């Protein structure tokens, strides 16, 4: 029987500025390095054992130096596509490099776009219209929204339009309809997603509910996920994976509410073995701590993942492969609240991943998808990346056994 492949994306866990960081005004950004220096050193013994500190031995991570015998293959990836957002990074993982970047609106959306939305929604005005933290903006504008019924419109470092509304003021179906009405306009403006952000509460004590709903732009071309599906490889998307790819090539999706929930779901999928490929995004690093510029919270989030890493390794069976990487940086010590253009780490453990192998700097995120395809013995039609595995040139993977 073919082994199972598990890919875990630690959303925003960058490992130092990319060579082209100056193009993004991100010179000097270093998510892991600056967390380490600001928090008195990283406390990540299990990731260190894999080889996290070996990735850049020439610039050691404080508290996480290289180990003499890492148990993983280790290296870092450099993004090819323009951009530093979630969709661009994840699409490149699966062999789709955007020819032009998606659009972001750090100063809010243009007046004519807002006017079009107001006319479509039949509202007198909108609140916000700026880049903001989702929890901060409902604290700032929640009472005004409850008083007026006007939707809160905002964006983030990603190419997204987000619409927040109190569930007792705007029924969920109305909020979802606003998102649907906005989708074509958002895509025309270069955005990749429209997100419904319902919240509840009273006074200034507002909290977002679990009724978030994403309306995502499908990848403009087929990805390696589609080619895996054609070859009989079943993929389960954990967390926001399915929305990033608009469900393309994904057989099943499991919604999660936190990193811990995402890890629990991933472990369940590893134990139940109902999918060949488990593709997980753990978003709390980015959403809860990177954008909020909270290095202490970010470090604790890393420690929480590190503490559960032995469970993930323990759930692996003979012939399995685990990959751990990230999709961009989000240095919590850096100016602003934007993502940062950085290298991302890559760690591989299991079948075909030689312990202690230095993968060096890989020139594209697409090496991730090519590695997954190589693991399953699937020939990619137009490969943009190179496999990071050391596997025999011919092997039989009886996927029908699943």
- What band does 109 get if pLDDT is binned at 50, 70 and 90? very high
Residue 216, pLDDT score: 87
Distances (CA, A) of 379 to 224, 227, 369, 390: 10, 8, 11, 16
Has residue 17 got a pLDDT over 70?
A: yes
Has residue 348 got a pLDDT over 50?
A: yes
Q: What are phi and psi of 163, to 5 degrees?
A: -125, 115
At CA 149, angle to CA 148 and CA 151, rounded to 5? 115
- The predicted model scores a pTM of 0.90
How many Cα atoms occupy the beta-carbon half-sphere of 309 within 13 Å?
Answer: 24
Asked if residue 78 lies in contact with residue 18, where contact means CB atoms within 8 angstroms, the answer is yes
Has residue 183 got a pLDDT over 50?
A: yes
Q: State pLDDT tens for residues 227-255.
A: 999 999 999 999 999 999 999 999 999 99
Has residue 203 got a pLDDT over 90?
A: no
Has residue 400 got a pLDDT over 60?
A: no
Q: State pLDDT tens for residues 158-173.
A: 899 999 999 999 999 9
Rounded mean pLDDT of 263-272?
98
Has residue 189 got a pLDDT over 50?
A: yes
Rounded mean pLDDT of 24-48?
97
Q: State pLDDT tens for residues 64-102.
A: 999 999 999 999 999 999 999 999 999 999 999 987 888
CB-based burial label for 231 (10 Å; 0-12, 13-18, 19+) = middle
Has residue 193 got a pLDDT over 70?
A: yes
Give which of 116, 272, 274, 252 is closest to 189, Cα–Cα. Answer: 116
Has residue 396 got a pLDDT over 70?
A: no
Residue 401, pLDDT score: 29
DSSP state of 353: B
Residue 399, pLDDT score: 36
Q: State pLDDT tens for residues 3-14.
A: 999 999 999 999
Q: State pLDDT tens for residues 272-287.
A: 999 999 999 999 999 8
Q: Which helix (H) or strand (E) holds 24?
A: none
CATH numbers and ranges of domains, the chain: 5-98+220-401 (3.40.720.10), 111-215 (3.30.70.1250)
Question: Tokens in use for 354?
Answer: 């030689």
Question: Tokens in use for 384?
Answer: 């943009």
Q: Tell me which residue has tokens 């090519």.
A: 370
């Amino acid at each position: 029987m073919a082994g199972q492949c598990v890919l875990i994306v630690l959303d925003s866990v960058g490992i130092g500025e990319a060579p082209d960081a100056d193009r993004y005004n991100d010179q000097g950004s270093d998510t892991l390095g600056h967390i380490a220096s600001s928090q008195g050193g990283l406390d990540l013994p299990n990731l260190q054992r894999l080889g996290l500190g070996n990735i850049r031995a020439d610039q050691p991570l404080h508290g996480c130096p290289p180990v003499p015998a890492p148990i993983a293959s280790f290296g870092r990836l450099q993004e090819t596509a323009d951009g530093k957002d979630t969709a661009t990074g994840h699409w490149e993982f699966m062999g789709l490099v955007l020819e032009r970047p998606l659009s972001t609106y750090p100063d809010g959306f243009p007046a004519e776009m807002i006017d079009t939305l107001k006319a479509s929604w039949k509202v007198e005005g909108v609140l916000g219209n700026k880049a903001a933290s989702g929890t901060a903006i409902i604290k700032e504008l929640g009472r005004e929204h409850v008083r007026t019924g006007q939707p809160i419109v905002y964006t983030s470092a990603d190419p997204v339009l987000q619409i927040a509304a109190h569930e007792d003021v705007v029924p969920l179906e109305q909020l979802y309809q606003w998102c649907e009405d906005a989708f074509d306009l958002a895509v025309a403006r270069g955005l990749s997603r429209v997100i419904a952000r319902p919240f509840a509460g009273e006074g200034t004590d507002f909290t977002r509910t679990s009724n978030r709903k994403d309306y995502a732009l499908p990848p403009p071309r087929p990805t390696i996920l589609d080619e895996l599906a054609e070859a009989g490889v079943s993929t389960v998307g954990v967390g926001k994976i399915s929305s990033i790819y608009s469900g393309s090539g994904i057989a099943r999706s499991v919604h999660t509410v936190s990193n811990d929930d995402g890890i629990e779901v991933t472990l369940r999928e590893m134990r139940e073995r109902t999918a060949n490929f488990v593709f997980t995004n753990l978003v709390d690093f980015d959403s809860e701590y990177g954008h909020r510029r909270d290095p202490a919270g970010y470090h604790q989030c890393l420690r929480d993942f590190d503490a559960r890493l032995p469970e993930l390794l323990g759930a692996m069976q003979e012939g399995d492969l685990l990959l751990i990487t990230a999709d961009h940086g989000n240095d919590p010590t850096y100016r602003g609240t934007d993502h940062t253009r950085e290298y991302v780490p890559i760690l591989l453990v299991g079948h075909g991943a030689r312990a202690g192998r230095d993968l060096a700097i890989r020139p594209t995120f697409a090496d991730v998808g090519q590695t997954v395809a190589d693991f399953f013995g699937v020939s990619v039609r137009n490969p943009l990346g190179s496999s990071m595995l050391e596997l025999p040139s011919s092997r039989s993977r009886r996927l029908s056994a699943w």
